[in-house]
Structure 1
Amino acid sequence: MTGAAPVACAHAPVTCIGETMAALVPDPVAPLEGADQLSVRIAGAESNVAVYLADHGVPVRWVSALGDDPFGRRIRAEVAAFGVDITGVRTDPHRPTGLLVKNPGPEGTRVHYYRKGSAASALGPDLLDDEAVRTAGLVHLSGITPALSPDCLALVTALLRPAPAARPCPVSLDVNYRPALWSDAETAAAVLHDLANRADITFVGLDEAQALWGSDLSDASDVRSLLPGPRILVVKDGGREATAFVGRGVHTEPAPKVDVVEPVGAGDAFAAGFLAGLIRGEEPVRALRLGHLTAGAALRVTGDHGPLPDADRIVELLDAPTAQWAQV
């Protein structure tokens, strides 16, 4: 890829590390107060990325911890069914699987978390000795994990502490700012800035960058000035466009128009599509397009995972002239 070193160690799978929870969702979709029944689904940023990477044919592992309970067993089965290697997932006999409840409403979906003391919140730096981490070609994390506990923060810090040249493999981080998980905004801003600036590849939304680090960040270039460290920085501007800073190059691609059913999970899908493009050796513009197409799959469904366009259609859209892409 022009201006960038290889994005992953050759012939080794991507390893995604982070918590996945059981999710209770009103069915049919309605405000929780009036719901007669709830469906059980699964929800986790890093496992979402793993599932979409598997959809794109990328060998991928998901590493986490689950309780020895029905929710944990269901999560294992569902993630594995997508072709994700789950041999690195631990079972904690003393702590439960995390739980969330979605409350859809006219102004968006609110999420209520029940994850304090969960199995995944006990993950720590000892995870670096796990074979699934030691042999990874790329490790993918999110900014959710360091908010879960001091041990989880220590884990993410340990992965990102070595200088990039000293790491066994590149590390990708999606900032994924969740205010409800942090004790205060000032702590979140400081911790996430440090981690995001240390990663080899960083994903951040313009809106979350503004929420974390100041409303005076007016565009992607301002965010790049604030985060000069990552070899590759992707700044997502909602449903409008995404910009990738790769080496000295700057590449921006508009997002296709999508009839949005629910936005939850779209950022994870975008990250997976973009990473899949990089791993394939695609140029940055094509990787951005693959990110947009994968995000569109998530936006069209009520859950976190939707079907990708067929392979021929993806190739057609990646090859489309700029003017045609803008009209997709």
Structure 2
Amino acid sequence: MTFSWRPAPGPVVCIGETMAALAPEPVAPLRSADLLRLDVAGAESNVARYLADHGVPVHWVSALGNDPFGQRVLDRMCASGVGVSGVRIDPARPTGLIVKDPGPEGTRVHYYRSSSAASAMDPRVLAGDPVRGAALLHLSGITPALSASCRALVEAALPSDPADRPYAVSFDVNHRPALWADGTAAKTLRTLADRADIVFVGLDEARMLWGGELADAQAVRALIPRPAVLVVKDGARAATAFLGSATVTVPALTVEVVEPVGAGDAFAAGFLAGLLRGSDPVRALRRGHLTAVSALRVTADHGPLPPGDLLEALLDADDPAWAGTVGIAYPEDVGHPSSLPEPGQ
């Protein structure tokens, strides 16, 4: 199956806040941890880093404090091959901080981002480079929750008439309940999502936002009918893409999960990379799942992609082989079972 919609040639630009990140190493509840690893974390910058891993030209636009955390973020983005010419250094506001607290019920996240440099972003960032030269703008539902000026930025990037913007827009709903104290999340995120060209949303978060009676991905599509591409992720089970009149579902891979934060961003980047390469919908969804594995197997938000030969083999695998894949063997893994089932299994 093929799908003809693609953005015009040009780079992807991801706009959003990235913070310094602290997490227990090894993975353990925060209160019992002896060591904390310093990393960086941000939904849009995660997407940018994975797009760069896939060879897609990409820029990240944001604001950072003039502090060591901000320099750490900037250094990490540069080292990942992401363009940072659109990043502003704010001398008066700090870089945000996120602290992860893994536990048996999942990972809790504590934010220290109030009045951060990125929270002061506003629509003026759309007028500068590299946004003016973007073919695709990637945004998430986190940004409009940070401040009134950030909400104005996202609304300006997503006018009601798509003809009023010079680029295509990808939007990950990325609902963070703690950031929406004013109770406007459901209406705002649905409106913004329905104005985008490509939308990512989890079935669980759609139910949290728009009603637990949403039975399946088709029900979500009925709520968000306008985007050319809608991807509904159903946790560790599958992802469904609605592309025009076509509907494609690809099951997720069975892998051991070390820490789940960042996997949704990785999936979005993999799917976008596939779409930008002109891949058919199945291969684009598979690339999304394979990229998500990179985040699931590490404690950080960003991990290395599967080895290139294995990645290509899984993209090309027939449906039974894909569905039968258990685990992804990286070169550093010792005694890991084969990632592809033996012929005939």
Q: Please give the range of the TM-score, normalised by the shorter of the 2 chains.
A: over 0.9
1:9 aligned partner: 8
Cα distance, 1:131 vs structure 2: 1.2
1:125 aligned partner: 123
Letter in 2 for 1:157: E
Counterpart Cα distance in 2 of 1:4 and 1:227: 20
1:312 aligned partner: 309
Cα shift readout 1:134-193 (whole Å, capped 9, x = no counterpart)? 101100000000000000000000000152233211000000000011114x41001000
Cα shift readout 1:39-65 (whole Å, capped 9, x = no counterpart)? 211000000000000000000000000
1:91 aligned partner: 89
Cα shift readout 1:106-144 (whole Å, capped 9, x = no counterpart)? 111111101010000000001111111110110000000
Is residue 2:53 matched to residue 1:35?
no
| SS of residue paired to 1:49 | helix
User: Which residues of 2 match residues 52-201 of structure 1 at below 5 A?
Assistant: 52-184=50-182, 186-201=183-198
Contact 1:125 1:158 in 2 (8 A): yes
2:259 alignment partner, one of 253, 259, 262: 262
User: How many residue pairs are counted as aligned between the two chains?
Assistant: 325
User: Which residues of 2 match residues 285-304 of structure 1 at below 5 A?
Assistant: 285-304=282-301
Counterpart Cα distance in 2 of 1:45 and 1:289: 20
Cα shift readout 1:72-121 (whole Å, capped 9, x = no counterpart)? 00000011101001111100000000011111111111111010100000
Cα shift readout 1:5-40 (whole Å, capped 9, x = no counterpart)? 22x221x11000000000111223221112223221
2:224 aligned partner: 227
| SS of residue paired to 1:102 | strand
Contact 1:4 1:246 in 2 (8 A): no
Letter in 1 for 2:181: S
Counterpart Cα distance in 1 of 2:234 and 2:100: 24
Query: TM (normalized to structure 1)?
Result: 0.97
Structure 1 vs Structure 2 CA RMSD: 1.1
| SS of residue paired to 1:131 | coil
Structure 1 stretches (4+) deviating beyond 4 angstroms? none
Counterpart Cα distance in 2 of 1:166 and 1:245: 24
| SS of residue paired to 1:306 | coil
Counterpart Cα distance in 1 of 2:252 and 2:36: 33
Identical-pair percentage: 66
| SS of residue paired to 2:242 | strand
Contact 2:3 2:281 in 1 (8 A): no
Contact 2:228 2:243 in 1 (8 A): yes
Contact 1:277 1:287 in 2 (8 A): yes
Is residue 2:258 matched to residue 1:248?
no
Contact 2:146 2:179 in 1 (8 A): yes
Give the direction of change, closer, same or farther, for the CA distance of 1:314–1:28 in structure 2 (3 Å limit): closer
Contact 2:2 2:279 in 1 (8 A): no
1:203 aligned partner: 200
Counterpart Cα distance in 1 of 2:24 and 2:239: 32
Query: TM (normalized to structure 2)?
Result: 0.92
Counterpart Cα distance in 1 of 2:129 and 2:12: 12
Contact 2:3 2:280 in 1 (8 A): no
Counterpart Cα distance in 2 of 1:109 and 1:3: 37
Is residue 2:24 matched to residue 1:26?
yes
User: Which residues of 2 match residues 43-54 of structure 1 at below 5 A?
Assistant: 43-54=41-52
Q: Which runs of 5+ in 2 are unaligned?
A: 326-345
Letter in 2 for 1:295: A
Q: Which runs of 5+ in 1 are unaligned?
A: none
Counterpart Cα distance in 2 of 1:36 and 1:303: 17
